Amino acid sequence: MDYDVVIIGAGPAGLCLAKAFADQSLKVAVVERQPADAIAEPAFDGREIALTHASVRLLTRLGVWRHIAGEEVSALRHAQVMTGDSPAQLRIDSSLTDKPQLGYLVPNHLIRRAAWQALQEANDVTLHTEARVAAVSTDEREACVTLHDGTLLHGALLVAADSRFSQTRRAMGIGAEQQDFGKHMLVCRMSHEAEHGQVAWEWFGHGQTLALLPLREHLASVVLTVTEPEAQRLHALDEAAFAQEMRERFGGRLGAMRLESTRHLYPLIGVYARRFVGRRFALAGDAAVGMHPVTAHGFNLGLASVERLADMTATARAEGLDLAAPSLLARYERRHRAGTLPLYLATRAIVGVFTDDRPLMRHARQAGLALVARLRPFRRAVAATLADEGPVDASWTQRLRKGLAHLRPGSG
């Protein structure tokens, strides 16, 4: 079977990428292990995705956003970072931008369902579900994917979007730097007595990290990061005991709490591929960059890879080039690395500093947090990054203008 592009992986990034290619009238194949029903109606998995304004812009353009019910979208108006018992906190307010909110929170499974629904409206997209890949190869003429049932898929371009543990990436001989943070993340929804005021919390405690993602008032997604044995113990508690322990872990700040969903555990492993491209091959989504969730940018970076790859193929068609021309793949590599590596490294540094419980490091991060909290240009720059709807790769002149705007006296 001949296609323009073959995508392996039908997670949110893979589905959005397929829709982006289909919108360019490309013939696309998507290969996924799960059955179609599991993609069309994915189960709740506990994860709430923080979307930037740029990500919502792209989802809107792809026709995905309109398939997400308004009542399922929660405004993220403010964010605050705390450490230990220190009164110092870094607060980022939407008032530092020209937008009423910093971003939006949407359940992960609903993004995937919406992407699937948008893809049903596209032409020339073939979904190979319940399909396992037996082999992948590329040469100067084409990419080839062999499925376990013997089906052969040929395309000009092969894209792996099959998770941070991508088997396709490995099969194509591309290694990845992996960092096992030695912790597990427990996620669930909880109601709570006190109001959250649409403020997201990131609280680096001693021996744990707590995040609160505000949904409707008195309801939030709770993200607790602890060791695997501790996460397993909490997962096994009955609902009343779990709610009481979570109330204590939040220091009683939220009042009485009650479990409102199933609980889910995820190991914390960061991944950064050593290369994003090969011959007629590219990585997208978590297969390229799998982020620690502390900066809440994982799926946003995945959507950035979608936009960059779609721009690559649009350029190829406009200029009459091969979809997988080496010069275009090299450009994608440069753009996506420049757009992801600084944040990936910064996230690793934040996790390292704010989860180190040695007394000296505790004092250092408290002092550091107090310092940056007083730097309005820094806070304004962070807020502006989240609220920016502009192109995924702004020109250097655009970046300069934005940078100077953050430094204006009295700005924000």
CATH of the domain at 148: 3.50.50.60
In a domain, 141, yes or no: yes
Residue 237 is predicted with a pLDDT of 98
Residue 357 is predicted with a pLDDT of 77
Buried b (16+ CB within 10 A) or exposed e, 92-120: bbbebbebebbbbbbbbbbbbbbbbbbbe
**Rounded distance between C-alpha atoms, residue 276 and residue 18, angstroms:** 18
Tell me the two tokens of residue 227: 């060791």
Residue 259 is predicted with a pLDDT of 98
In a domain, 45, yes or no: yes
Sites in the chain below the pLDDT cut of 50:
396-401, 403-404, 406-407, 409-412
In a domain, 380, yes or no: no
In a domain, 204, yes or no: no
Entry pTM: 0.91
Amino acid identity, position 346: A
The per-residue pLDDT for range 17-33, each reduced to its tens digit, is: 999 999 999 999 999 99
Give 85's contacts (C-beta < 8 A, 6+ positions apart): none
The per-residue pLDDT for range 219-238, each reduced to its tens digit, is: 999 999 999 999 999 999 99
In a domain, 186, yes or no: no
The per-residue pLDDT for range 70-116, each reduced to its tens digit, is: 999 999 998 998 887 777 788 888 888 888 899 999 999 999 999 99
In a domain, 243, yes or no: no
**Rounded distance between C-alpha atoms, residue 235 and residue 232, angstroms:** 5
Give 360's contacts (C-beta < 8 A, 6+ positions apart): none
**Rounded distance between C-alpha atoms, residue 111 and residue 117, angstroms:** 10
Residue 398 is predicted with a pLDDT of 47
Yes or no: say if 266 and 187 are a contact pair by the CB < 8 Å rule: yes
Residue 361 is predicted with a pLDDT of 78
Residue 128 is predicted with a pLDDT of 97
In terms of residue numbers, what domain contains 17?
A: 2-73+104-177+271-359
Residue 63 is predicted with a pLDDT of 98
- With tokens 């893809």, the residue in question is 119
**Rounded distance between C-alpha atoms, residue 103 and residue 94, angstroms:** 9
Residue among 3, 110, 15, 124 at smallest CA distance from 62: 15
What is the number of structural domains in the chain? 1
Share of the chain above pLDDT 90, in %: 74
In a domain, 308, yes or no: yes
Give 301's contacts (C-beta < 8 A, 6+ positions apart): 289, 291, 339, 340, 343
**Rounded distance between C-alpha atoms, residue 131 and residue 122, angstroms:** 21
Residue 394 is predicted with a pLDDT of 59
In a domain, 83, yes or no: no
Residue 400 is predicted with a pLDDT of 43
